[in-house]
Structure 1
């Protein structure tokens, strides 16, 4: 006997009401992906160190050209609110206090993956492409590389390349910021 199970998908507004009602707390490591509340992996020390290095490097160099947002929500449509590790956002006077940024506000998203590279590549990168995020970097700590995705098109990106140690990359929207991959990966990768 086949049993059909229907999923109950949530909107961003419902997701926020769950937090307001205490069903979800600020300490819950979850994000809303295509209507589903997804538990995020715990953050290991290598992952945290990499996020700290990236945010520190950008914070020292972007000045007023961008806001460096660390592990904060990006609203993508009615049913998704991922929390990328680092996002460079278009400057705004209120620093996005009145509403979370959307894809049009994003200059770059960086996802750091110690054990979640498959999820980031297979779920989050296509989600970002679908909503028009212009550029995504996936830092794969296990492989010691940065995957660069540019030019969203449908469920993917027109340009995909992998850069490693000894190379540097610059965000399309801030082309003068050449980030050494060694700086992103650190000494212990």
Structure 2
């Protein structure tokens, strides 16, 4: 008897969009396309949802129309990945990204709020974002109540990694005049 092993079927963005348009997934399904794999996302808990709201409100207060704020909306990273980060600051688009999703070149800051997905966000998501040149990636770490800041992407990792607490303030790479208070985020 010959052993048969299950094989993955990897998909690309075009097929992913066709599946969505065909209604293959139930409307309530929360999924992302990561490196060609369709992954189910964890349910959003109270603490996670509240922190996403807090982050969004914080950046709306700080920013003007020169930056677009997207919350839990897709970004396109190459032909095999379309994650839905919790918050992304992107360059403005004349049609507000109604004809395409932002790409890595549009991203000024990408943020994942993490509790149950902390390990995944520190490994697979970090590698994905660094590989695609996302210049600044944050993990709002709800487990340890801190902010992890990753900068200087190179070869699938970040050269600059900082762990910040509520006592810290710092400036964004893409928006150096903007000072961020970690206490306002956590």
Instruction: Give the gaps of 5 or more residues in structure 1.
Output: none
Q: What TM-score does the superposition give when structure 1 sets the normalisation length? A: 0.94
* Structure 1 residue 155: Cα displacement: 1.0
RMSD of the alignment, in Å?
1.2
Instruction: Give the gaps of 5 or more residues in structure 2.
Output: none
Moved segments of 4+, more than 2 Å? 1-6
Q: Give the match for residue 166 of structure 2.
A: 165
- Rounded to whole Å, the distance in 1 between the matches of 2:27 and 2:108 is 26
Asked if residue 96 in structure 1 is aligned to residue 97 in structure 2, the reply is yes
- Rounded to whole Å, the distance in 1 between the matches of 2:116 and 2:183 is 20
Q: Give the match for residue 77 of structure 1.
A: 78
* Structure 1 residue 139: Cα displacement: 0.6
- Rounded to whole Å, the distance in 2 between the matches of 1:166 and 1:22 is 47
- Rounded to whole Å, the distance in 1 between the matches of 2:75 and 2:26 is 18
Shift in CA distance, 26/151, structure 1 to aligned 2, threshold 3 Å:
farther
SS at match of 1:64: coil
SS at match of 2:134: coil
| 1:90-144 CA-partner distances (Å, limit 9, x unpaired) | 0111111110010000000000002111000011011001011111000100101
SS at match of 2:65: helix
Written as runs of structure 1 = structure 2, the 5 A alignment for 1:134-173 is 134-173=135-174
Q: Give the match for residue 106 of structure 1.
A: 107
The aligned length equals 185
Q: What TM-score does the superposition give when structure 2 sets the normalisation length? A: 0.96
Q: Give the match for residue 174 of structure 1.
A: 175
- Rounded to whole Å, the distance in 1 between the matches of 2:26 and 2:176 is 38
- Rounded to whole Å, the distance in 2 between the matches of 1:176 and 1:50 is 24
